[in-house]
Structure 1
């Protein structure tokens, strides 16, 4: 993707994200139909679905040769990442959206031949847009985010962590995760993977660790973190895959290996 093409797509994507956020805010106080997907805690609302359709319609109209992968299933059946692929989470943090009416985000990652070109994470209720274009740094609204510090110790670090993983020993080797919790300065749980990635990019959280995320949860955030010098891998240090679920460590590189050494991986 050349610079001119990237800028044009970025401009449209940014406008669509802001427009979608405004549409959500105008409907926040209306009755919302809530359904469940894979479990009682896996929620979806009509606004999730409407927002994804909003993006699908615009992308397909403006860029009919692009593919779209969306959480709610209105996009394409994708089995490769060749060409331009938009990966969309219309409302990341649906439980927060339903219960708190805040702390949720629109997440859009745009990839060309598997390379992250554009990342947008929009904290809808704060009207705060995290955004990045490959090679141009990451921004919070109009403020360019600084590179992550070169020196950082785990004992000085705040870790974004869903504590569910530390108690469910059917899924994860919890001893390693509990050791990580003890070593870190503190942990936080925000309920939105996209926002956790954004906070790592901003440097207000030093790492985010979780054991199972889908492509739409991470696509935009990976680009943001990379643009400030951060790193994103699976929990064992292996590269992530764009079309499958991944365990995730996204963090300041200074603490990456130390987190891996805690052996926080899914059981097989």
Structure 2
């Protein structure tokens, strides 16, 4: 938590001088600012002061992929929603996931503007500022508010994405595109949203948020219902009933296997994570909801 707050302080200070920030392009429409890098530095230094041997995998390049061999890795997005931040649209966050021996065990998504701290530990539940979270109790897609993120115009899987979006839009109450995947997932965990799907994300975009959803009683998978969402970046996360309908929408879109060709750059930078299913506590809650 102290690491997320350290990054959040950098973001709030940077927001006061948005117009003068140095900004570069990683690729078309993918921006990175000096605030991204400064936030990452603050987060990493806070972590390494307490855990100097732990492995680090962070969006803007801070890395210590091997660490001391302890098996613990921190997966960091220092500013999820950079474009929002630069435009003064205050929907952005710090996202930090913790992996131990290949299993995602903890996650924090911190929204410094609203002071919202979403936290989860595997098997212990998910919380917003100390209050336990539970996903919404929707009957299915017709009642659901779904969030997503648009691909870059040149993305090879953009046509497949829009086929899926069309099917989701036809079946749900409405669709939102806020522009920060970590917050979208946190909002699913909190019941503000009922589902989320997106293509070709990186692990730092979704690691913490995925655990939040699971620990709040939701379901997280890749687009075919498997467990490869962290290693391939194609994700569906929702309440149990809405998740089933999301997967049906993907099937109806008939996008085939082409979407699965994406390989996140993080796989070449020492990613140590596997994609486990729901924790025991989440499975138990889902079972109770189904029986009820």
Q: CA deviation at 1:169?
A: 7.9
Equivalent residue in structure 2 for 1:246, among 233, 236, 244: 233
- Name the residue aligned to 1:209: 197
Could you tell me whether the CA contact under 8 Å between 1:148 and 1:229 is conserved in 2? no
CA shift in 2, pair 1:64/1:169, >3 Å: closer
Per the normalisation by structure 2, the TM-score is: 0.79
- Name the residue aligned to 1:32: 21
Flag structure 1 segments of 5+ consecutive residues without an equivalent: 1-13
Q: How many Å separate the matches in 1 of 2:135 and 2:247?
A: 22
Pair 1:74-2:62 in alignment: yes
Q: More deviation in 219-228 or 154-163?
A: 154-163
Q: How many Å separate the matches in 1 of 2:70 and 2:201?
A: 22
- Name the residue aligned to 1:186: 174
- Name the residue aligned to 2:274: none
Could you tell me whether the CA contact under 8 Å between 1:49 and 1:90 is conserved in 2? yes
Q: Deviations over 1:85-107 (max 9, x none)?
A: 10000000000000025100000
CA shift in 2, pair 1:166/1:19, >3 Å: closer
Q: How many Å separate the matches in 1 of 2:153 and 2:243?
A: 19
Q: More deviation in 61-70 or 89-98?
A: 61-70
Q: Secondary structure at the match of 2:200?
A: strand
Q: CA deviation at 1:193?
A: 0.3
CA shift in 2, pair 1:245/1:76, >3 Å: farther
Equivalences, count: 251
Equivalent residue in structure 1 for 2:75, among 87, 106, 109: 87
Q: More deviation in 250-259 or 208-217?
A: 250-259
**1:139-154 equivalence runs, <5 A:** 139-149=127-137, 152-154=139-141
**1:117-266 equivalence runs, <5 A:** 117-149=105-137, 152-164=139-151, 171-173=158-160, 174-240=162-228, 242=230, 244-263=231-250, 265=255
Q: How many Å separate the matches in 2 of 1:214 and 1:16?
A: 20
- Name the residue aligned to 2:10: 23
Q: CA deviation at 1:19?
A: 2.6
Structure with the largest fraction of helix = 2
Q: How many Å separate the matches in 2 of 1:153 and 1:27?
A: 41
Q: Deviations over 1:131-186 (max 9, x none)?
A: 1122221111122113543x521111111023558998853433343121111011
Cα RMSD, aligned residues only: 2.4
Pair 1:61-2:49 in alignment: yes
Q: How many Å separate the matches in 2 of 1:73 and 1:166?
A: 25
Q: How many Å separate the matches in 1 of 2:216 and 2:158?
A: 32
Could you tell me whether the CA contact under 8 Å between 1:28 and 1:101 is conserved in 2? no
Per the normalisation by structure 1, the TM-score is: 0.85
CA shift in 2, pair 1:110/1:164, >3 Å: closer
- Name the residue aligned to 2:287: none
Q: Secondary structure at the match of 1:64?
A: coil
Q: How many Å separate the matches in 2 of 1:87 and 1:170?
A: 25
Q: More deviation in 28-37 or 81-90?
A: 81-90
Q: How many Å separate the matches in 1 of 2:65 and 2:16?
A: 34
- Name the residue aligned to 1:10: none
Could you tell me whether the CA contact under 8 Å between 1:165 and 1:172 is conserved in 2? no
Q: CA deviation at 1:20?
A: 2.2
